[in-house]
Amino acid sequence: MSDSQSFTFKAETKQLLNILIHSLYKDREVFLRELLSNASDALNRLRFEMLTNQNVLDPEAELKIHINVDKDERMLTIQDTGIGMTKDEIIENLGTIAQSGARNFIEATRDSEVDIATVIGQFGVGFYSVFMAADWVRVTSRSFKPRAKAVQWYATGEDSFEVSPAEMNERGTKIEIKLKEDAAEFADENTIRNIIKKHSDYIGFPIYIGDSESQANQQTSLWRSARNEITDDQYNDFYRQMTMEFEEPLLRIHAVTDAPLQVYALLYIPAKGERGMFSLRKEDGLKLYSRNILIDEYNKDMLPEYLRFVQGVVDSEDLPLNVSRETVQASGFMPKLKKIVTGQVIRELEKLAKDDTEKYNEFWKEFGLYLKQGIAAEPFETEKIQPLLRFKTNQKPEEWSSLDEYIERMREGQKEIFYIVGDDPKSVLHSPHLDYFQSKGTEVLLLTDPLDSFMLMGLRKYKEYELKNVAQADVEETEASEKESEAEKIAEDDFSTLLKRFKEELGERVTDVRASKRLSQSVARLVDPDDSLNPEMQRVYRYLGKDYEVPKKILELNPSHAILKGLLGKDADLQNEIIEQIFDNALLVEGLHPDPASMATRIQKLMELALS
Ligand code: ADP
Ligand code: MG
């Protein structure tokens, strides 16, 4: 044809086609899913267009997909009444646009165990998967724009494609596929029907095959169906077809509300905190529908940041549609919707925590960090998140406890929730700051995740209880500590001498050395002077900036400790070495780093002395 033009594919597309044509993939049936998903996108875009623009070609035409097969000719045809493509669009979309996805796809085919056929759609190059099964492909399209002319695209999967004018009166896109000899099975209505059931059952438009008037897909909006009519398998299939995650979701939430807004929500909490490598969901966000029209594929305004891992669909009758998205934002509708959706998720999580602790703990292990971030970053949400938090404690180091459980177990007269910040759950149990609390049987939360320090910025109080760091010097005495230490105290004069020796030796490295009432097992500990930043803020600064200098601390000594008693009367040299080592040990348990070189030499010297 004289008015036919030839174009060459982009280099990376050529390479991609080359791989697709010359390899055998066991799951190549998924090319149908890709073409149907494109048809569905095109139909959705048209419907969206028609919300504001009635000036489209064939405004009355049914929104649908039609599939025809011809066994003798080995032909498969898929036609939609979607938005269509103009000549420029077809050239760009199907051949000349730079495809970073093609490059990634090629990378992935190099060294991967996954069957590439099943994941090609995730690379944004799904259309080309048709060449796994096609000798040639002809795409004929007529744009929704009333004055656009029909156009035809033809390719065999070699380096170039042809574009020419075409005859087509109805709106939409028709894809004709000449099947390879070894792909003849796809020219069969039953085969096609089964593939649709498997991969495309929830496409939101009717799919018809051949002359049959019954739909090949369910097309139900599962979220609008009655809960008792949906099986677990259907729920899970829907999740799988939406996300392409292979693990079953941890939790599903199917909620329907009538007031204050009419909302259908079908939400899932995935099994894992990270999206699967081949997830279909490329961003966070829920699918937002109104009256069955997909308004937004990744809507981030329906859930707070800290619940961004939730997947699913929200459909509301009340979404004002005949206005732009910006106006929807301004109308105050979204905040209302967000309140409802967020409330549902939180309620279901609380319910899960009550009904199935084990599963909730699984949730906590995968998603706890999101909630902690929420506490740190969204001060107005903390009250909602607090009951969902879980902690290990000195009394139950192997279990996850909620703040409410902690409160229930509180000792009589306890007015605060105690916590300790440290680097890991094991070593923190040996911290001298815990001495006093261990001996009294007081429960203390163990905060050993770097995020905990950030979380504490937003978690100063739970119900009427303040949270208090055990390392802080001003922790209230609840009882006189006289009989606490059964071991005998060092005589006052002797102890003053010791304090003086410590001060001389440590000099500027500490702000003070003093007696502690709080130590029983440990010799010493470091505490912050009253006017310094609290310990978790210090940690936050340490995590954020390497140059942060930790403020000087007070060294507290245990006046009943055998080591200090023994220290009296030793020669000054040995005293100094031991004082240095006590100080270094105290630094270590704070997660601060003493000078390793001088410490090693010193320990060797002390060992020699101990053995001699
Ligand atoms: P993706 O769907 O991820 O964008 P594809 O390779 O599947 O990638 O499709 C490429 C593009 O071709 C689509 O983005 C769309 O613009 C266009 N396209 C494909 N099929 C159709 C169709 N049936 N109707 C309209 N446009 C289509
Ligand atoms: Mg696609």
CATH number, position 595:
1.20.120.790
| CA 297 to centroid of ligand 1, rounded, Å | 15
Residue 298 within any structural domain of the chain: yes
Query: Are 228 and 173 members of one domain?
Result: no
Ligand 1 cavity residues, CB under 6 Å = 34, 38-39, 42, 80, 82-83, 85, 93-94, 124-127, 173
User: In 3-state terms, what secondary structure has residue 3?
Assistant: coil
User: In 3-state terms, what secondary structure has residue 241?
Assistant: helix
Token digits of residue 47: 């419907």
Mean pLDDT in order along the chain per 10 residues (612 residues):
87 90 81 93 92 91 97 98 97 85 80 67 84 96 96 96 96 98 96 91 92 89 91 94 91 93 95 83 89 82 95 88 58 88 96 97 96 91 94 95 97 93 86 90 94 91 93 58 62 93 95 90 89 78 75 92 91 92 91 86 91 87
**Boundary of a domain, candidates 305, 322, 345:** 345
414: DSSP letter: -
**Boundary of a domain, candidates 293, 310, 345:** 345
What is the reported pLDDT for 307? 97
Query: Are 71 and 197 members of one domain?
Result: yes
| CA 220 to centroid of ligand 2, rounded, Å | 21
Q: Give the residue whose CA is nearest to atom 17 of ligand 1.
A: 93
Residue 496 within any structural domain of the chain: yes
516 residue type, one letter = S
Query: Are 484 and 558 members of one domain?
Result: yes
What is the reported pLDDT for 483? 47
What is the reported pLDDT for 327? 59
For tokens 């035809």, the residue is 152
Token digits of residue 267: 């939400």
Query: Are 196 and 228 members of one domain?
Result: no
pLDDT tens-digit readout, 380-399? 889 999 999 999 999 999 99
Query: Cα-flanking dihedrals φ and ψ of residue 59, to 5°?
Result: -60, -20
Q: Which residues form the domain of 323?
A: 222-345
172 CA: nearest ligand 1 atom: 24
Q: Give the residue whose CA is nearest to atom 14 of ligand 1.
A: 93
Measuring CA to CA, which residue among 388, 416, 418 is closest to residue 402?
388
Query: Are 164 and 24 members of one domain?
Result: yes
Query: Are 190 and 329 members of one domain?
Result: no
Query: Are 159 and 226 members of one domain?
Result: no
Residue 514 within any structural domain of the chain: yes
Taking the CA of 16 as reference, the closest ligand is: 1
Number of structural domains (the chain) is 3
What is the reported pLDDT for 482? 46
| CA 123 to centroid of ligand 2, rounded, Å | 9
Query: Are 229 and 339 members of one domain?
Result: yes
Calpha distance 527→516 (Å, rounded): 10
Query: Are 13 and 142 members of one domain?
Result: yes
Token digits of residue 308: 């961004």
Q: What is the CATH number of the domain that holds 320?
A: 3.30.230.80
Calpha distance 284→286 (Å, rounded): 7
Residue 474 within any structural domain of the chain: no
Q: What is the CATH number of the domain that holds 51?
A: 3.30.565.10
**Cα separation values, 251 from 136, 242, 341, Å:** 44, 15, 15
Question: Mutual orientation of helices 189-199 and 30-52 as an angle, nearest 10°?
Answer: 70
Residue 119 within any structural domain of the chain: yes
First to last CA, the chain: 104
Binning the chain into helix, strand and coil, the percentages to the nearest 5 are 45, 20, 35
Measuring CA to CA, which residue among 199, 209, 13 is closest to residue 123?
13
Whether the CB-CB separation of 163 and 90 falls below 8 Å is answered with yes
Calpha distance 380→374 (Å, rounded): 10
Put residue 45 in one of left, alpha, beta given phi > 0 → left and psi -120 to 50 → alpha. Answer: alpha
Token digits of residue 280: 């279909």
Alpha helices in 81-124 (DSSP H): 87-91, 100-110, 116-119
| CA 45 to centroid of ligand 2, rounded, Å | 13
Query: Are 165 and 256 members of one domain?
Result: no
Query: Are 524 and 596 members of one domain?
Result: yes
**Cα separation values, 460 from 99, 477, 536, 543, 547, Å:** 50, 20, 12, 20, 27
Q: Give the residue whose CA is nearest to atom 13 of ligand 1.
A: 93
Residue 528 within any structural domain of the chain: yes
| CA 33 to centroid of ligand 2, rounded, Å | 9
Residue 146 within any structural domain of the chain: yes
Whether the CB-CB separation of 165 and 181 falls below 8 Å is answered with no
Whether the CB-CB separation of 434 and 394 falls below 8 Å is answered with yes
Whether the CB-CB separation of 366 and 287 falls below 8 Å is answered with no
pLDDT tens-digit readout, 279-300? 888 889 999 988 777 778 899 9
**Boundary of a domain, candidates 209, 238, 271:** 209
Token digits of residue 155: 């390719």
What is the reported pLDDT for 546? 62
Calpha distance 409→386 (Å, rounded): 18
Residue 565 within any structural domain of the chain: yes
Query: Are 168 and 263 members of one domain?
Result: no
